């Protein structure tokens, strides 16, 4: 950004006629579930069995926070610091690159608290069950839950890389990858010992640690003789496997009423997937990506049946039913949103969309509920079953609620926004100031101009090395035009607005009319490129939020990186 290198900036006018937030078209909204509390990259939300006054939030960097006084007067404190525990025991440091870090938390069905301090975990009680070498920082899955059967389930991705680089996803006789595992941590009589395992590590020559767990006698691959068309050595089968063939099973959950296991799998190039997982399910990665041909389709074995997802959605520009990174979800058993009872509420980290998946007969149909932030995990309120959602960028825990009274809709025409005193000449209104960026982004060949506005006498807080802080009501405007032969603005294409709300931002676009007299509001879902648009679609509102995130400082153009 040029010309604004000062600690604070104040403007004295607020000419724009834009709503403080967008109206809900679905009847649902998100509200802060833990007002005043923030977290550092939250990745899991959990509660202990039978407890209603505590929540636990897992932070990727190593701390697990306990929330006491819930829900009336929530206060957070550190329940366990995994970084400190590793350092104190001389076990090195916790990796946090990519998807490394603390990824999940599950409480045993018979979990009880210490009489001395129920809000601090005892590091001395650590029991290591598995310690596997990880070849890359991505595709780690990392979710874990106890099922209604009392067994521990956890997920692992294919180890990282593109197209199953490490050849993990199609095997169950190698390591612990690309699957959901089912373990008996109570060492029940009649269950089995795990098969031996070896890996290239002097610290942990085997991923399987002594006396950590047993294999449930009814695990589906205990007696397998072949897998994906290839014979198996019974001594090498990872009998821990409950279901397999998943690229990155990031988050899964059990229906608290029926016990069904629902899984969100992050796709590669084209498809995000939801599976209803049963014992022995094989998702088929990397022969398949969901129900479609995958990168290894030419190697697909004859006569092998793979399980199709119950729902999948594409990568792309459909801002209602697309995204690029599913974050899993939960079966809603909320007592305050009973119309969603039994639906699978899930979301996407990139598109920020949150949907409800409803079954009718054998078909699952999605309904867009709300656009949230960078969704990283879901949980359930232990008091009333409300769906709780972690936003990893903003560090907030949100609650799915019915939308409050209707917000006013954005103006239908650019001329009605108050941004320009003369729309024909694009003369900015008083209090709307031009600015320029030091490094222009690629705008599909269009020429960009920019303005911004602050509400009343509010200020921008400058930061010398990072994102700046903007008051609610700040507006950024970007004008896109076709360039003339000398690179100057020519035919007007779009005028885009980004509005700072109390919680985040929203974006809207106005597309210029053919006669260039005014611009019309683009609908929520966007407008595909027409014959005169040179392949340039007009973005929908969710598409704006894919880049304008909290971690990026929202505006993308006012910061000091």
Residue 552 lies in a domain: no
**Residues 155 and 281 reside in one and the same domain:** yes
DSSP string for residues in 324-338? S-EEEEEE---SS-G
**Residues 375 and 421 reside in one and the same domain:** no
C-beta contacts of 85-93 below 8 A and 24+ residues apart: 85/123, 85/126, 88/123, 89/123, 89/126
Percent of the chain with pLDDT over 70: 97
Residue 59 and residue 81 in contact, taking contact as beta carbons nearer than 8 Å: no
Residue 207 lies in a domain: yes
- Least confident range of 203-217, 301-315, 403-417: 403-417
**Residues 413 and 484 reside in one and the same domain:** yes
Point out the domain boundary residue: 402, 419, 438.
402
**Residues 228 and 354 reside in one and the same domain:** yes
pLDDT digits (tens, 9 = 90+) for 96-122: 999 999 999 999 999 988 778 899 999
**Residues 45 and 101 reside in one and the same domain:** yes
**Residues 312 and 251 reside in one and the same domain:** yes
Residue 493 lies in a domain: yes
Point out the domain boundary residue: 373, 402, 431.
402
**Residues 282 and 341 reside in one and the same domain:** yes
**Residues 362 and 429 reside in one and the same domain:** no
Q: How far apart are CA 401 and CA 398, in angstroms?
A: 9
**Residues 198 and 343 reside in one and the same domain:** yes
Point out the domain boundary residue: 402, 422, 440.
402
C-beta atoms surrounding 426 within 10 Å? 18
Average pLDDT over residues 436-455: 89
Write the secondary structure of 240-277 as one string of H (helix), E (strand) and C (coil).
CEEEECCCCCCEEEECCCCCCEEEEECCCCCEEEEEEE
Residue 370 lies in a domain: yes
**Residues 437 and 415 reside in one and the same domain:** yes
Residue 91 CB partners (closer than 8 Å, separation 6+):
none
**Residues 144 and 212 reside in one and the same domain:** yes
Residue 353 lies in a domain: yes
Question: Measured on CA atoms in the order 535, 529, 542, 367, is the torsion positive or negative?
Answer: negative
Residue 36 CB partners (closer than 8 Å, separation 6+):
none
Number of domain units in the chain = 2
Q: Which domain holds residue 393?
A: 31-54+90-115+123-402
295's tokens: 């990168």
Residue 554 lies in a domain: no
Q: Which of 369, 436, 394, 376 is nearest to 548 (CA)?
A: 394
164 pLDDT more than 70: yes
Residue 364 lies in a domain: yes
**Residues 346 and 259 reside in one and the same domain:** yes
DSSP string for residues in 79-130? EEEHHHHHHHTT------STT-S-------TT----SS-TTS--GGG----B
What's the CATH number where 178 sits?
A: 2.120.10
pLDDT digits (tens, 9 = 90+) for 11-70: 545 668 998 888 887 889 999 999 999 999 999 999 999 999 999 999 999 999 999 999
Residue 383 lies in a domain: yes
Q: Which of 472, 393, 446, 459 is nearest to 40 (CA)?
A: 393
């Amino acid at each position: 950004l040029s010309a604004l290198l000062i600690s604070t900036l104040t403007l004295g006018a607020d000419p724009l006629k834009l709503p403080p937030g967008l109206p809900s078209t679905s009847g649902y909204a998100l509200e802060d579930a833990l007002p005043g509390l923030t977290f550092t990259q939250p990745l899991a939300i959990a509660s202990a069995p039978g407890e209603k006054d505590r929540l636990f939030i897992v932070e990727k960097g190593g701390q697990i926070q306990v929330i006491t006084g819930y829900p009336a007067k929530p206060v957070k404190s550190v329940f366990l610091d995994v970084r400190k525990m590793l350092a104190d025991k001389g076990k090195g440091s916790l990796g946090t690159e990519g998807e490394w870090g603390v990824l999940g938390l599950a409480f045993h069905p018979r979990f009880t608290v210490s009489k001395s301090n129920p809000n601090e975990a005892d590091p001395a009680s650590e029991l290591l069950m598995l310690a596997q070498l990880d070849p890359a920082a991505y595709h780690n899955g990392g979710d874990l839950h106890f099922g209604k059967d009392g067994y521990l389930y956890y997920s692992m991705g294919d180890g990282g890389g593109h197209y199953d680089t490490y050849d993990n996803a199609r095997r169950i006789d190698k390591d612990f990858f690309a699957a959901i595992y089912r373990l008996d941590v109570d060492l029940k009589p009649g269950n089995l010992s795990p098969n031996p395992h070896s890996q290239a590590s002097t610290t942990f020559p085997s991923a399987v640690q002594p006396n950590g767990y047993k294999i449930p006698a009814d695990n589906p691959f205990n007696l397998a003789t072949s897998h994906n068309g290839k014979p198996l050595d019974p001594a090498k089968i990872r009998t821990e496997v409950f279901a397999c063939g998943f690229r990155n099973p990031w988050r899964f959950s059990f229906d608290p009423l029926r016990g069904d296991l629902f899984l969100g799998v992050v796709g590669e190039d084209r498809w995000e997937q939801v599976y209803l997982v049963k014992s022995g399910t094989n998702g088929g990665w990397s022969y398949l990506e969901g129900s479609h041909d995958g990168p290894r389709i030419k190697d697909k074995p004859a006569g092998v049946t793979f399980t199709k997802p119950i729902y999948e959605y594409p990568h792309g520009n459909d801002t209602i039913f697309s995204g690029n990174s599913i974050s899993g979800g939960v079966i809603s058993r909320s007592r305050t949103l009973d119309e969603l009872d039994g639906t699978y509420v899930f979301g996407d980290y990139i598109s920020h969309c949150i949907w409800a998946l409803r079954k009718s007969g054998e078909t699952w149909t999605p309904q867009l509920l709300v656009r949230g932030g960078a969704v990283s995990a879901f949980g359930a309120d232990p008091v009333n079953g409300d769906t709780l959602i972690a936003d990893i960028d903003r560090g907030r825990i949100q609650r799915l609620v019915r939308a409050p009274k209707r917000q006013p809709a954005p103006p239908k025409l650019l001329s009605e926004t108050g941004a320009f005193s003369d729309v024909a000449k694009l003369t900015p209104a008083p209090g709307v100031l031009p600015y320029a960026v030091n490094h222009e982004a690629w705008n599909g060949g269009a020429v960009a101009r920019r303005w911004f506005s602050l509400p009343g006498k509010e200020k921008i807080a400058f930061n010398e090395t990072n994102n700046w802080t903007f008051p609610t009501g700040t507006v950024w405007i970007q004008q896109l035009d076709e360039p003339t032969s000398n690179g100057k603005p020519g035919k007007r294409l779009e005028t885009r607005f980004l509005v700072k709300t109390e919680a985040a931002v929203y974006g809207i676009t106005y597309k210029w009319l053919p006669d260039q007299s005014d611009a019309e509001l683009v609908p929520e879902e966007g407008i595909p490129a027409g014959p005169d648009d040179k392949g340039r679609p007009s973005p929908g509102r969710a598409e704006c939020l894919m880049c304008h995130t909290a971690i990026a400082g929202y505006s993308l153009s006012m910061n000091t990186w």
